[in-house]
Amino acid sequence: MTEILSVDDASIARAAALLREGKLVAFPTETVYGLGADATNGKAVASIYEAKGRPSFNPLIIHVAETGALDTLIDWNDTARVLASALWPGPMTLILPRRKDAPVSLLASAGLETLAVRIPSHLDALKLLRAVGLPIAAPSANASGKLSPTTASHVAESLGEAVDLILEGGRSRIGVESTVIDVSGPEPVILRPGGITQEQLAAILGRNVAVPDAAMGGDDSPASPGMLTSHYAPHLPVRLNAEAAEDNEAFLGFGSVAGVGETGRLNLSPSGDLNEAAANLFAMLRALDSSAYVGIAVAVIPNIGLGAAINDRLRRAAAR
Ligand code: TXA
Ligand code: MG
């Protein structure tokens, strides 16, 4: 079994040393667990794609501990500065022009002229990033297309021996991935709904930030290369906007829609709290994804605040 270590000075030093050697280390963030590698090392980055079975056209997010560490990687602009100072460290990823001389593997940005960058807020992630002192490429630490991990044991189940070390940092507080915002063009655009809501962005920027249709489910020309229609998929089929379970279906409820049926039932948030629902989403889908059932029926989730990110993940989980 892959080693899982709780975070202390010794495990951080060990993880940082492994990353410097080009190894893969899974680490906690406030959104989901990440599968980290030294972004400046092409072989290390290639092993991320291999471990996840990820298509190489799908670029990675580069994680650092401080905004100053981005100066050699991307070209800043005013919108990026405003968002970075308001929301980092936190569940936001910015897409910015990649500097020609950026010391990041071209594979990590899949040959694009832009780079995705993020400063996570999880204290253990920040400790690791400071200790290693290198930009770290980190996708979610799951097999490509499958459910994202919100605990260290999810990572072990999904990636097994492919990862050299897993740092244990508890349950991910937010539970859905960062909001990906393209600020490389004239108008900011949300490429992936996530832990920062459209409402928060509008309040910070003083105007609405668009979410193109392609980011919301079509996959003919995904705005973000990773936003394919089928993603975040459990093994079982998922049925959305359900009021109750049908025969042998599991039920994932929300608020008062608790679901009636003979089989397994969980509730994302009995009180109807979307933050709680997001934090429970991937772990509950995993728990219900059992051969005891023929499918997973999911209650209606309001499409406001974090509900937009939850519904995005559920639509992709339901797509086949
Ligand atoms: O919360 C998160 O963002 C987590 C944690 C570990 O930080 N990471 C994560 O990475 O969700 P991943 O690889 O699962 O998703 C990255 C998304 C993909 O949809 C990818 O296509 C998009 O970011 N992306 C990366 N670079 C991009 C770029 N240059 N232009 C457009 N989209 C990009
Ligand atoms: Mg992912």
What does the pLDDT look like over 69-121, one tens digit per residue? 999 999 999 999 999 999 999 999 999 999 999 999 999 999 999 999 999 99
Q: Is 198 in the pocket of ligand 1 (CB under 6 A)?
A: no
| Closest ligand to residue 90's CA | 1
Average pLDDT value for residue range 295-310: 97
* Ligand 1 atom closest to Cα of residue 225: 21
| Four-point Cα dihedral 158, 27, 105, 131, nearest 10 | -160
Q: Per-residue pLDDT for 184 more than 60? A: yes
Q: Is 192 in the pocket of ligand 1 (CB under 6 A)?
A: yes
Long-range contacts of 16-19 (CB under 8 A, 24+ apart): 16/128, 16/131, 16/132, 16/133, 18/164, 18/165, 19/44, 19/128, 19/132, 19/134, 19/136
**pLDDT at residue 134, as a whole number:** 98
Q: Whose CA is nearest to atom 12 of ligand 1?
A: 139
Q: Per-residue pLDDT for 62 more than 70? A: yes
Average pLDDT value for residue range 159-173: 96
CB atoms near residue 187 (< 10 Å):
10
Q: Is 215 in the pocket of ligand 1 (CB under 6 A)?
A: no
- Quote the strand ranges of 172-274, DSSP E: 179-182, 189-192, 238-239, 249-253, 265-267
Distance 190 CA to ligand 1 centre (A): 12
Distance 297 CA to ligand 2 centre (A): 23
Q: Per-residue pLDDT for 162 more than 50? A: yes
DSSP-derived pairing of the beta strands 92-97 and 165-168: unpaired
Average pLDDT value for residue range 116-140: 98
Distance 255 CA to ligand 2 centre (A): 27
CA distance 10 to 301: 42
Give the C-alpha distances (Å, rounded to integers) separating 221 from 213, 226, 283: 10, 11, 30
Give the C-alpha distances (Å, rounded to integers) separating 158 from 52, 104, 140, 230, 274: 9, 27, 11, 17, 26
Average pLDDT value for residue range 288-296: 96
In the chain, the domains with their CATH numbers are 4-205 (3.90.870.10), 238-318 (no CATH)
CB atoms near residue 151 (< 10 Å):
20
CA distance 2 to 16: 17
pLDDT tier at 45, thresholds 50, 70, 90: very high
Average pLDDT value for residue range 56-71: 97
**pLDDT at residue 217, as a whole number:** 54
CA distance 32 to 106: 24
**pLDDT at residue 259, as a whole number:** 78
- The secondary structure of residue 248, as a DSSP letter, is T
Q: Per-residue pLDDT for 25 more than 90? A: yes
Whose structure tokens read 């401080």? 66
Q: Tell me phi and psi for residue 112, to 5 degrees.
A: -75, 160
Q: Is 139 in the pocket of ligand 1 (CB under 6 A)?
A: yes
Q: Is 188 in the pocket of ligand 1 (CB under 6 A)?
A: no
- Is 37:47 a contact under the CB 8 Å cutoff? yes
Q: Give the pLDDT confidence of 234-266 residue by residue, as tens digits.
A: 999 999 999 999 999 999 999 998 877 767 999
**pLDDT at residue 196, as a whole number:** 98
Sign of the alpha-carbon torsion through 120, 181, 86, 271: negative
Q: Is 31 in the pocket of ligand 1 (CB under 6 A)?
A: yes
CA distance 91 to 197: 10
Q: Per-residue pLDDT for 4 more than 60? A: yes
**pLDDT at residue 231, as a whole number:** 84
- What is the average pLDDT value for the chain, to the nearest integer? 94
CA distance 281 to 51: 24
**pLDDT at residue 320, as a whole number:** 78
**pLDDT at residue 212, as a whole number:** 81
pLDDT tier at 220, thresholds 50, 70, 90: very low
Whose structure tokens read 């949300």? 190
Whose structure tokens read 């030093």? 13
Distance 157 CA to ligand 1 centre (A): 21
- The secondary structure of residue 164, as a DSSP letter, is S
CA distance 233 to 316: 7
Distance 45 CA to ligand 1 centre (A): 14
DSSP-derived pairing of the beta strands 165-168 and 136-137: unpaired
**pLDDT at residue 219, as a whole number:** 47
Among 263, 250, 258, CA closest to 297: 250
- Is 69:237 a contact under the CB 8 Å cutoff? no
Give the C-alpha distances (Å, rounded to integers) separating 208 from 91, 114, 117, 304: 19, 23, 22, 14
| Closest ligand to residue 63's CA | 1
Q: Is 59 in the pocket of ligand 1 (CB under 6 A)?
A: yes
Q: Which residues surround ligand 2, an ion (CB under 5 A)?
A: 140
24, 63, 75, 93: residue to mutate for ligand 1 pocket, most atoms within 8 A of CB: 93
Average pLDDT value for residue range 204-229: 71
* Ligand 1 atom closest to Cα of residue 35: 6
Q: Per-residue pLDDT for 195 more than 60? A: yes
Average pLDDT value for residue range 47-66: 96
| Closest ligand to residue 28's CA | 1
Average pLDDT value for residue range 264-273: 96
